[in-house]
Chain A
Amino acid sequence: MTMAKLILSLDGSVIREVPLDKERVTIGRKPQNDIQIENLAVSSEHACIVTILNDSFLEDLGSTNGTLVNGNPIKKHILQNNDVIEVGKYKLKYIADTPGAGQTSADDFEKTMVLRSPMARPAVVPKPSGDTQTGAAPAAAAPPVATAEAAKPAAAAPPLAAVQILNGPSAGKELELTKNLTTLGKPGVQVAVITRRPQGYFITHVEGASFPVVNGKALDAQAHPLKDHDVIELTGVKMEFFIKTR
């Protein structure tokens, strides 16, 4: 059986791995702690992690300098895979019990594997499900069903949309958004991009000192979802975004 673990590191260098093999694992400066961290910023009994079956709970034990998870101070926290706990300058990365260790499936077959020539020494490429693949026969590859599905982009395209220019010399001109990305504006001055995604269309600032304006409001650096009949302004040009087909 595998179990969850913590990877203790300082300034990006891994110090050691600590398996969460007890119901209660304590972290602190004093030697009686399961994870002893000899650092003045760490309280003598700083925090503890209680593990019940597959879930681990982190609790700050009233430490002086606090406990952070992913940069946020916490009192109690249910640990998620890859959470980073910070105690003083030390970091403890939480690695959950391997999800679905007993699960074979398409997923395993898609993992990159090494194919070795039959001349090579016996291969040691154990997989969780034991589906070691060696030898040179292409026939030994994954079943067709498993990977054929992965080969084609599964994205459902949203309905066709366009922007129509509302003012200036090009007024009335229409630009269909047939690609995943369409840039608008003047390179070097101001450019925005409209991205077409399964969940709809989004506009994002690309370059220039000023940001695009949608319905009279300037955007920030974040992608902004576009709705039918939104009015976009860019370098003084107004244009309307609209959905063409349903």
Chain B
Amino acid sequence: MVNLSAALEVATATHSGMVRSHNEDSIAADAEIGLAVLADGMGGYNAGEVASGIAVAMISAELKKMLGSESGEIPGGGAERLISEHAIKANLAIYQAAQSQSQYAGMGTTLVVALWHDNQITVGHIGDSRLYRLRDDVFEQVTRDHSLLQEQIDSGMITREQARFSQNKNLVTRAVGIDPEVEPEVHTYPVLPGDLFLLCSDGLSDMVTDEDIQLTLSSLQANLPLAAEQLVQQANDNGGRDNISVILVRVVKDFPAPRAGWLETLKAWFR
């Protein structure tokens, strides 16, 4: 059974912002199995929150079932395949719901999923919800947005500074639930004790500069719930034009996977 609650400290906050009447973001975090999921829904009426809700509920429930049980462990294909498969499953569920019920037509969601395991983090994402990492004094964006803006930056059309004032912030090039197929981007990185990870929706990253996010995280590391609350507050103080969600995960100590003894290895060999 996986239990990382001694190694990971988690705090979350989500808010509808100052303009929107309802919150289309969904989040889930579980220190025990080392999971964080964040989705930013889109689509008319309430469809956005339905899409993000399905994605987060499906992925967190199934991974909890798989990893939280007595014999729970990451299956053979590894964490990357696990995240990929569940993102694809959520995609299909949302797509089918959108096809079968007219009020949900066209709904979709961004997704960022992070799984901590064996001193590593595996992160999968689709769209422009992000994962950042603060390690010592270096604050870095780990995921690269699937957005028109990012493509423009990559191709050298505009600079990162110009991007802050771009008109195209809201155009994502990949999303969950829009097509019957989706390609999640999944990577694994080593983790060190002291690392602080931030998952957020664009309601934070569009409203608060990276410098201010970093300042908040480094100043308030000792009080993660306050840090999460302060990030939301700053986004709202700056106008809060979109829903704001944050998940903070601090790595308190290392968490190597339990290694199988020789007997188990032998048994597995003959199975």
Contacts and interface: CB of A to CB of B under 8 A. Distances in A.
A2 B242 CA distance: 23
Contacts of B1: none
Contacts of B212: 180
Interface in B160-176: 164-175
Interface in A122-164: 123-128, 132-133, 138, 141-144, 146-148, 150-155
Nearest to B242: A110
Given A82-B22, A126-B105, A197 B165 contact: no
A113 B167 contact: no
Interface in A98-116: 98-99, 101, 107, 109-116
A158 to B, nearest CB: 11
A99 B173 CA distance: 28
A113 B42 contact: yes
A123 B178 CA distance: 8
B13 interface: no
Given A114-B42, A128-B44, A180-B234, A148 B167 contact: yes
Q: Interface majority SS on B: helix, strand, loop or mixed? A: loop
Contacts, number: 140
A183 B167 contact: no
B140 to A, nearest CB: 20
Interface residues of A, number: 56
A179 interface: yes
Contact of A98 (B45, B174, B241): B45
Contacts of A114: 42, 108, 171-175, 178
B63 to A, nearest CB: 17
Contact of B219 (A111, A153, A181): A181
A187 interface: yes
A155 B87 CA distance: 37
B215 A180 contact: yes
A154 B238 contact: yes
A154 B17 CA distance: 14
A128 B54 CA distance: 21
B146 to A, nearest CB: 10
Interface stretch (B112-120, B203-211, B250-258): B203-211
Contacts of A95: 22, 46
B226 interface: yes
A112 B222 CA distance: 34
Contact of A120 (B21, B152, B179, B215): B179
A11 to B, nearest CB: 13
Given A151-B164, A153-B209, A179-B215, A125 B106 contact: yes
Interface of B: 19-22, 40, 42-46, 98, 105-106, 108, 110, 127-128, 148, 152, 164-175, 178-179, 202, 206-209, 212, 215-216, 219-220, 222-223, 226, 230, 233-234, 237-239, 241-242
25 contacts: A110-B170, A113-B172, A114-B171, A114-B173, A126-B106, A132-B106, A133-B171, A138-B152, A141-B167, A141-B168, A142-B167, A142-B168, A150-B239, A151-B169, A152-B164, A153-B208, A180-B215, A181-B230, A187-B222, A193-B219, A195-B233, A197-B233, A206-B220, A206-B222, A207-B223
Given A125-B106, A125-B108, A197-B237, 19 more contacts: A95-B46, A96-B21, A98-B46, A110-B241, A112-B42, A113-B172, A114-B171, A114-B172, A115-B172, A116-B173, A126-B106, A132-B106, A141-B167, A141-B171, A151-B166, A180-B234, A181-B220, A181-B230, A206-B223
Interface of A: 2, 81-82, 95-96, 98-99, 101, 107, 109-116, 120-121, 123-128, 132-133, 138, 141-144, 146-148, 150-155, 179-183, 187-188, 191, 193, 195, 197-198, 204, 206-207
